Each structure stands twice: as structure tokens, then as C-alpha cells.
Amino acid sequence: MTDQEPAPNTAEWAYQKLVGLLAPKPWGRDSQVHPETRKIMERAAHWVVALAGIDPDPDGIRAARLATVLRGHSWLAVPRRPSDEQAWLLADSLEALWIENASDDAIDEEYARKAPDAAEANELSAQHKRVWLLSHHTESQRIGSRGRARVALRTRYLCFAGLLLMLLVGSVWALALIALDDDATIIFCALGGAIGGAVSGARGLRDSRRIHQARVFQTWWWVQPAVGGAVGLFIYALLISHVLTLPGSISDDPVQQSAARIIYAFVAGFSEPWILGIMSRLSGAADNAATMATKPTPDLPTFDTPDTPAAPPR
């Protein structure tokens, strides 16, 4: 690289912009780019270098096409951290441009690496391999775009669900404080459930092994405490109604009784299988009660008593 600023929308210019975005922050070792987006941008930088390494372009056709691709990504000129979709669009466009312009030897190597049956490589011309690679690239791009759209839609719905749930939990909390006398226990049950949900989310994040699993928690991280708070209030309602009786929840000692309810609220927010098991048992009991209530009572059989004298006492 030279000290002079490279011409805009050239391979060298794009490489410098990508490297600048991936550079560490002044106050730490990590860059400001999300780790998943960083991986995609490194892929884009790889294809920029690969395009720069192709044989000279005397007519300037390849340089003009590269400039057209780069002009479509204004975040490079700012520079501004791109979204995942913006980074993928750049990387995919650069890869397609490389496939169209790479040498026959490079196409042979790429085909041998990606083709399902490399044994046919010797029977195909370089043009056939190039067409197959472009088709494979387009299909992979379509599948990846669909998967990213599903993730984005799921994230959006989780955000809406979290906002709605937080509004409902706050409303129920306020009404419970007004209508019921045990204000402190209500508050601590909601907080205990929220803390249990946060701890459960932290454990799930710790145990996640793949990046896309960790990215789901980026949205779920703040939704789960709201879910835990709702579950904590639900457990409190079950315990004070005696629909559900657990050890310590009906103790004669008020302190022990409140502590037990708070503990069960925390467990409900932390353990999804535990609260789902309670819901399943409650649902089964409600179904049985509804079945018995709607089942007609059978008529008792009647018997005709014959007019025979009673046996004399002995």
C-alpha cells in the first residue's frame, strides 16, 4: 500500500476501507464491528484481493464493473459499520465478479473445491465450470438471504413481544399492588421471576456453541426477564389461590410463607421445564373437571319389590 490515498472505488481503496472498519478500537483490542459481520467483511476483503490479483485489465472493463459494485455500497465511503445484509451483498457481488473474470486455472481450483463430483472436472470446459460456479453461488446467495430474512423477522417479532409483555407485566403488577394487601411479596415475586429469567438466559448464552445461537440471545436477553416477571406473578397468584400448594407456601409463619413464594417465583423464571410441567398438570386437571361437569348423571336403576311378607324373627 502507498502513502497516497488510492482512487475511489478501486480494489485498493475498497481494501483500505474494509481494513479501516475492522481495525481495533483505540481503547481496546476488538473492532466496532459485530463478530459475525466482521467475518463477512473479511470475506469481502478476500475477494477484493483476489480481484486485484487477476491478470491486467487493459480495457478497464473489470475495473469499471468493480467501481459500479463499490458505488452501490455507500457505507464504504463514509465509512460506516454495515449491517449483516449490507456486508453479505458486498461479499456476494465481489465473489460473482471474481468468478466471471478469474483465470481458467483459478476456476479449475475453485470448481474442484466446491463441485460435488470433482471426477468430472477433466470432462468440462472452463466455461462450463464458470457457469456452474455462478449458478452455485446464486443458489447459495438465495438460501442465505432467506435464512437471514427469517432471523430478522424473528428478531422483530421478539422485540414486539417483549415490549407488549413488559407493558402487561407492569399493568398487572400495578393492579395487584392496588387490589391485594401483600405488596412486598408481590414485588419480590415479580423481581424473583425476572432474576430467574436473566440467570437462565445467561446460562444459555454461556452454553451456546455457535455464533447464530449466540445472536438469538442478543434479542432474547432482555425479553426473558420480562417473561420471568410474568411467570413470577402467575406463580404468586397460583399459590395464594391454593390452586397450587407447595411446601412452605401455606406456612403459618408469614415470613416463611413469603420467602417460599419468592423462591418458587425465582424457580419458575429460571426453569422452563418446571413451569411447563405445572401448566401441563393444571391443564389436565381443568380438562378433567370440565369433562365431569358436562357429563350427564346416569339414572340409578330401580327394582320392583315383590309383595311378600317379611320373614318372622327368630
Shared domain for 270 and 167, answered yes or no, is yes
Task: Report pLDDT digits (tens) over 297-313.
Answer: 555 455 454 555 555 55
The DSSP element (H or E) to which 148 belongs, if any, is: helix 126-179
CA distance 72 to 58: 24
Residue 1: band (very low, low, confident or very high) from pLDDT cuts 50, 70, 90: very low
Whether residue 207 is predicted with pLDDT greater than 80 in this model: the reply is no
Shared domain for 197 and 230, answered yes or no, is yes
CA distance 175 to 186: 11
- The angle formed by the CA atoms of residues 242, 248 and 249, to the nearest 5 degrees, is 30
Q: Note whether 149 and 85 are within 8 A (CB).
A: no
Residue 166: inside a domain: yes
Residue 313: inside a domain: no
Structure confidence at residue 43 (pLDDT): 92
Shared domain for 196 and 258, answered yes or no, is yes
The residue segments making up the domain with residue 226 are 160-292
Q: Which three cell numbers stand for residue 265?
A: 417465583
Residue 5: inside a domain: no
Shared domain for 20 and 139, answered yes or no, is yes
Q: What is the pTM of this model?
A: 0.61
Q: Measure Cα distances from 28 to 23, 31, 211, 251, 260 in Å.
A: 10, 8, 22, 54, 45
Whether residue 212 is predicted with pLDDT greater than 60 in this model: the reply is no
Structure-model confidence comparison of residues 205 and 82, the more confident one: 82
Shared domain for 287 and 171, answered yes or no, is yes
Tell me the mean pLDDT in the region 260-289.
84
Shared domain for 61 and 26, answered yes or no, is yes
Shared domain for 38 and 69, answered yes or no, is yes
How large is the C-alpha radius of gyration of the chain? Answer: 34
What is the average pLDDT value for the chain, to the nearest integer? 79
Shared domain for 138 and 210, answered yes or no, is no
Residue 301: inside a domain: no
Residue 209: inside a domain: yes
Structure-model confidence comparison of residues 301 and 183, the more confident one: 183
Structure-model confidence comparison of residues 76 and 25, the more confident one: 76
Shared domain for 107 and 219, answered yes or no, is no
CA distance 66 to 97: 8
Task: Report pLDDT digits (tens) over 53-101.
Answer: 887 777 788 889 999 999 999 888 887 788 888 899 999 999 999 999 9
Among residues 162, 200, 188, the alpha carbon closest in space to that of 265 is found at 188
Q: Which three cell numbers stand for residue 200?
A: 437462565
Residue 214: band (very low, low, confident or very high) from pLDDT cuts 50, 70, 90: low
Shared domain for 44 and 69, answered yes or no, is yes
46 dihedral zone (left: phi>0; alpha: psi -120 to 50; beta): alpha
Whether residue 158 is predicted with pLDDT greater than 60 in this model: the reply is yes
Q: Which three cell numbers stand for residue 131?
A: 457457469
Q: Note whether 10 and 63 are within 8 A (CB).
A: yes
Which amino acid is located at 73 in the chain? Answer: H
Out of 11-15, 62-66, 183-187, 208-212, which region has the weakest mean confidence (pLDDT)? 208-212
CA distance 66 to 58: 14
Structure confidence at residue 68 (pLDDT): 92
> What per-residue string of b and e applies to 178-210 under the rule 16 or more CB within 10 Å gives b?
eeeebeebbebbbbbbbbbbbbbbeebeeeeee
Residue 58: inside a domain: yes
Structure confidence at residue 230 (pLDDT): 87
Among residues 245, 312, 313, the alpha carbon closest in space to that of 278 is found at 245
Shared domain for 29 and 144, answered yes or no, is yes
Count Cβ atoms within 10 A of the Cβ of residue 251 and give its class: 0-12 exposed, 13-18 middle, 19 or more buried. Answer: middle
Q: Which three cell numbers stand for residue 245?
A: 400448594
Task: Report pLDDT digits (tens) over 35-52.
Answer: 778 888 999 999 999 998
Most confident of 92-106, 168-182, 293-307: 92-106
Q: Note whether 33 and 81 are within 8 A (CB).
A: yes
Number of folded domains that form the chain: 2
Residue 300: inside a domain: no
Most confident of 90-94, 214-218, 243-247, 304-308: 90-94
